[in-house]
């Protein structure tokens, strides 16, 4: 049997034993799920640039602030309006006089909810000179002139109109027809989407039906260009996991954080276990004074409280993701040393190791060719078991605001939630999902590690 066939047979034997361990299979399923989410992240998030523009407030400005996920409508007595993006608007064009041209489009919006949206936002890009007029026609036939505004720019730039902010006076005038004494603060959306009667403010009744937004754009010059216009219904619920107080989509942040959680956990674990295995083997192989010195050094590191030291180092150095991995590896390597050393003490007594010494093989060759390869299975199990700790420590450091702010991690999301008063304000959708995600990733690698340890360690102990 050649080497390839022997390796294939060993892998098959390992898999035959592994699949008998149920929690190991559960770990593999969860790991495949996370890998699937990482690979297809661009297709699963409504905000593909969430990972790179997480802290860019202009990227999220059209979203509602601190609203729950859309699926709470399944459990709520009242239906909340979901966020909706109406794009690819088509306009009819009519020449008014000379260079003046009128563009018109009518957007029909079906409102079948109880709680109105937070805002209606009309936006696009333009260059030149134009005026904008938007009229809302309600299902009851009433029309409200929402916006009259002009724009001028010699260069291409964005325009963004919040109808709630722009239509305040016109909406108050409309409401005054039915209620003489208006409250000091008028909720524009409640007026727009409620039945017009005397209880408009005291007990508003939703006005369901088709709303029509008549949008007129008057281009004042032939050179004026208006492009990429769209209407955003900024709902009272949004996305799969709601939004935070910076209008960011929590689901997009959660997806973006998966790859960093896996990267941090796997890199830290790979580096620290590799160092720990080599350290343990070298200590066992040389023995004597070398072993004594190395074990005293190990005892110093094992007694250092990792978390306080990590917090202090992070506060001093403001670490990047790489320096954070290196700092954790600096302390994580002690984990496998004792077990590896005890295994290596048995392995170095094997006849083939003695034969290699008799034939004049160097110490390096014996350690790296004859001893460490025997410990590779144990190393994989140890790596899997170290991943949850690395993710948890990173999340703790980030939760305290000491992590790498240039990336999106679940710890960073929890840190923002803590600063934003998510717990005190009842914004559970901002806190619970990252916490569950951390627990699931930790559980995934714990299952894999325990399964491999169950299969591999008895074989190693019997050598």
* Domains annotated on the chain, with CATH: 3-43+251-460 (1.10.3720.10), 82-237 (2.60.120)
The pLDDT value recorded for residue 433 is: 94
Distances (CA, A) of 306 to 127, 208, 296, 443: 57, 59, 18, 22
Closest CA to 28 of 459, 452, 453: 452
The pLDDT value recorded for residue 463 is: 47
Closest CA to 329 of 281, 266, 372, 384: 266
Q: pLDDT (tens digit, 9 = 90+) per residue, 169-227?
A: 899 889 888 888 888 888 888 899 999 888 888 888 999 999 999 999 999 988 899 99
Predicted TM-score (pTM) of this structure: 0.86
The pLDDT value recorded for residue 457 is: 65
**pLDDT < 50: residue spans in the chain:** 460-463
The pLDDT value recorded for residue 2 is: 64
Residue found under tokens 């009667």: 197
The dihedral through the CA atoms of 355, 356, 358, 359 has a sign that is positive
């Amino acid at each position: 049997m050649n080497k390839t066939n022997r390796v294939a047979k060993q892998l098959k034997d390992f898999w035959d034993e592994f699949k008998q361990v149920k929690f190991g299979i559960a770990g593999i399923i969860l790991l495949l799920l996370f890998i699937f989410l990482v690979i297809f992240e661009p297709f699963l998030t409504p905000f593909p640039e969430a990972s790179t523009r997480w802290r860019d407030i202009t990227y999220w400005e059209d979203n509602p602030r601190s609203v729950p996920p859309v699926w709470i409508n399944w459990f709520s007595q009242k239906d909340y309006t979901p966020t909706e993006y109406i794009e690819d608007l088509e306009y009819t064009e009519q020449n008014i006089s000379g260079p003046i041209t009128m563009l018109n489009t009518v957007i029909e919006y079906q409102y079948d909810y109880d709680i109105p949206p937070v805002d209606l936002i009309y936006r696009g890009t333009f260059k030149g000179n134009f005026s904008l007029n938007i009229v809302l026609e309600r299902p009851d036939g009433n029309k409200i002139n929402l916006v009259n505004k002009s724009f001028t720019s010699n260069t291409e730039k964005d325009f963004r109109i919040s109808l709630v902010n722009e239509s305040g006076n016109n909406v108050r005038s409309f409401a005054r027809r039915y209620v003489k004494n208006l409250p000091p603060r008028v909720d524009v959306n409640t007026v727009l989407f409620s039945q017009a009667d005397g209880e408009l403010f005291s007990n508003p009744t939703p006005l369901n039906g088709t709303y029509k937004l008549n949008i007129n754009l008057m281009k004042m010059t032939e050179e004026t260009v208006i492009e990429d216009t769209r209407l955003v219904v900024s709902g009272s619920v949004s996305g799969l996991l709601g939004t935070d107080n910076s209008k960011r989509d929590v689901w997009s942040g959660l997806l973006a954080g998966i790859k960093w959680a896996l990267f941090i956990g796997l890199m830290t674990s790979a580096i620290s276990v590799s160092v720990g295995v080599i350290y343990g083997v070298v200590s066992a192989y040389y023995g004597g004074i070398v072993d004594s010195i190395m074990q005293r050094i190990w005892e110093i590191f094992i007694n250092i409280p990792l978390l306080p030291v990590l917090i202090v180092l992070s506060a001093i150095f403001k670490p990047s993701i790489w320096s954070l991995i290196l700092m954790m590896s600096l302390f994580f390597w002690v984990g496998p040393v004792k077990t590896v050393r005890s295994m290596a003490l048995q392995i170095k007594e094997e006849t083939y190791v003695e034969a290699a010494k008799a034939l004049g093989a160097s110490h390096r060759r014996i350690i790296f060719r004859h001893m460490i390869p025997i410990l590779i299975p144990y190393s994989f199990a140890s790596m899997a078991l170290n991943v949850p700790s690395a993710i948890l420590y990173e999340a703790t450091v980030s939760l305290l605001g000491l992590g790498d702010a240039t990336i999106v991690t679940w710890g960073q999301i929890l840190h923002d939630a803590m600063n934003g008063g998510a717990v005190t304000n009842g914004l559970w959708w901002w806190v619970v999902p990252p916490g569950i995600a951390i627990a699931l990733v930790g559980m995934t690698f714990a299952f894999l590690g325990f399964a491999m340890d169950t299969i591999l360690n008895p074989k190693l102990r019997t050598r």
